[in-house]
Structure 1
Amino acid sequence: MAASPRPALAEERPAQADYESLKVAAEWYAVLQDAEAGARQRAAWQRWLDARPEHRRAWAHVEKVSRRFALLRADGEREAAEKAMQVAARRPPSRRLAAGRVLALGGAGILGWLAWRFTPLPVAVTAWRSDYATSIGEQRGIVLADDTRVWLNTRSAIDVQFNQDHRLLTLAGGEILVETGTDPRQRPFFVDTRYGRLQALGTRFTVREMDDDVLLAVYDGQVRIQNIAGGDALVRAGEQKRYTADGISMAAPADPAREAWSRGVILAENLSLADLIAELGRYHAGYTGVDPRVAGLRVVGRYPANDRDRTLAMLERDLPIRVQRTLPWWVTLEPR
């Protein structure tokens, strides 16, 4: 049984910074990237920064999102460079202005790749050490030796160990959908998480590591939960449960949205706008915030997980909101 925590791939959220401070921080960031920004603007920004601790926390979060966006861009450039090298080897011997420029931040080429490659990010380290992994916004399906099918959601990683005694997946972080194959040797099929072990009994199910627990939803067959403290529970088709190292929740109806992502869809059935945007944020490197005045609006529909602009356009069409793009990677939803 898994007994030691692994680095989580869950998205960090700035709960300690209020919405208004985050909004103003992003606006200041855009202003300061403008080549025309001078000493007067920087002095005003410094006064704002020093005025309240919340302002410093908001500014730190804006900088963190900016670095993450730049690192992912550098990773994309690394992949493009690698492809170019492979091809070559086969051959013979104002604010709007600031927003447009912000994409140039973070370095490029080999320097950008080195910054990405050697930055001690837990997510990246986990992915490098895992047998299979996905990056932000990527989903991947694999077929194992016993014909088990596994889909990895955004920012997810697993290790696979098949031996003469068992078939074992270890979820290093993120979310997976598993459809177990039939093993002629009848070896048991396990999934280890940081809070315990799951045993699949001829089944189709999803497992997602949350910030504070693990969510299991079963769509076919049954799955047994055994947490680190020795708790034991059987989850049947159509049910879902959450568990921690020392507790297992009561069963609830399995949420169809928990497997819709394998088809590239975010399924909203009377979901709050804030919850929908939080889910959408898992698939994108930038920040998408919701004004508290519209956060509670209820949403029903099917939205493309990997096309943020299209999803936001759909929401802007159907709800009394407008999309405010302060930076290419910083978007907020406000009352219309």
Structure 2
Amino acid sequence: MRQAADWYARLSADPHDAAIGAAWRRWHGQSEAHRQAWRYVERVGRRFAALQEDGDTAVRTLRAARRTELSRRQALRTLGVLSGGALLGWFGWRDTHLAGLVAAWCADYRTATGEVRDFLLADGTRIWLNAASALDSDYQPRLRRLHLLAGEVLIDTAFEDRPFVVDTAEGRLRALGTRFSVTQQDGHTRLAVFEGAVEVRTAGSGAARIVRAGEQLRFDRRAIGDPEPAAQARQAWSRGLLLVDDMSLAEFVEELSGHHRGYLGVAPEVAGLRVMGTYPLHDSERILGMLEGALPIVVQRPLPWWTSIEARR
């Protein structure tokens, strides 16, 4: 099942890659067990076929919407409406990415909840900002520096003599000619390297490690975790999709929360349920409805801005 889910994610991400297609056919023909697992994954995947089509439309819509930028005054008025009620302001601050975004309100690059954007930097480096993210750029004569203040960024670095670094609250990452993603989370940073390599150095202890292509890890201010295989699906959000390969429901909710307005939580008794599939990030409510139909859960909305996932009684 794990292998079948992995092949499904890879084929979904690169449907026109002849090498991946040939490798999948070899795997599929090796045994009846492989074919049975693949049939099951296909059945699950068909449940989300309509969502896939909506996701493609959403990507085109997002690209068109990038041409229009809300003025800062309009955004401030929106923030004022969101924080008008004491409870709404408190839970929005405590349980969503608003705290990081307010702190980084004047950042050079930023996205709102549910928004994914890409930017081309002065040196030709291309970056994608995930939802509810903020980033500062500081290009100097001898150094190219980005500072990730909140959320997640995918970076495709341009070749140049000046070093390229990304700073987070936990340390510094130095690109060694590469494509990689960085996520600022509570108390730690997550790094996934897809091409090249990245050197990690912690801010507290100075511990250092080189992370190679195909690896990912987490680190805090003092220690660097062990590397594990990088999930290629971690790049899919830049195309408006969330590719899920045997992820816990708790992890899924964490990924989805930046694209969902208001509080989104999951009860501990269902947090370990496994999720797979391809989901368009533009419609979190429909995604929750599909999950409710596929898993033994119920989605509760006691208030318009409060959503919780609980066990079905």
Structure 1 residue runs of 4+, over 4 Å off?
79-83, 108-111, 113-116, 119-122
TM-score (norm 2): 0.66
The answer on whether the counterparts of 2:101 and 2:134 sit within 8 Å (CA) in structure 1 is no
Instruction: Give CA deviations for 1:110-162 in whole Å, capped at 9, x if unaligned.
Output: 9749969xx99743443322111112221110000111001111121111111
Contact 2:101 2:132 (C-alpha < 8 Å) held by counterparts: no
How far apart are residue 242 of structure 1 and its match? 1.4
Counterpart of 2:303 in structure 1: which amino acid? L
In structure 2, give the amino acid aligned to 1:138: E
- Matched with 2:149 is 172
Q: Report the count of equivalent residues.
A: 230
Residue in structure 1 matching 2:278, options 287, 293, 302 = 302
| Alpha-carbon distance in structure 1 between the residues aligned to 2:71 and 2:177 | 41
- Give the SS at the match of 1:130: coil
Q: Which residue of 1 aligns with 2:302?
A: 326
Structure 2, unpaired ranges of 5+: 1-69
Counterpart contact for 1:127–1:134, Cα < 8 Å: no
> 1:225 corresponds to which letter in structure 2?
V
Aligned to 1:147: 124
Aligned-pair CA distance for 1:303: 1.5
Which segments of 5 or more consecutive residues in structure 1 lack a partner in the other structure? 1-78, 84-107
In structure 1, distance between residues paired with 2:152 and 2:178: 16
Amino acid at match of 1:200: A
- Structure 2 contact 170–187 (Cα < 8 Å) conserved: no
2:270 alignment partner, SS class: coil
Larger gyration radius, structure 1 or structure 2? 1
What does the per-residue CA deviation read over 1:211-235, in whole Å, with 9 as the maximum and x for residues that have no partner? 1211111000011111122211100
Going from structure 1 to structure 2, the CA distance change for 1:188 and 1:280 (only over 3 Å counts) comes to same
Partner of 2:134: 157
> Partner of 1:128 in structure 2?
105
Distance in 1 between residues matched to 2:83 and 2:103, nearest whole Å = 18
SS in 1 for 2:210: strand
In the other structure, the counterpart of 1:280 is 256
Shift of the 165–297 alpha-carbon distance from structure 1 to 2, 3 Å rule, reads same
- After TM superposition, the structure 1 stretch with the greater mean CA deviation from structure 2, 283-292 or 159-168, is 283-292
Take 1:136 and 1:155, find their aligned partners in 2: how far apart are those partners?
5
* CA spacing shift, 1:130–1:110, aligned 2, 3 Å: closer
Instruction: Look up the match of 1:241.
Output: 217
User: What are the equivalent positions in structure 2 for 1:11-30 lying under 5 Å apart?
Assistant: none
Tell whether the 8 Å contact from 1:178 to 1:204 is kept in structure 2 after alignment.
Answer: yes
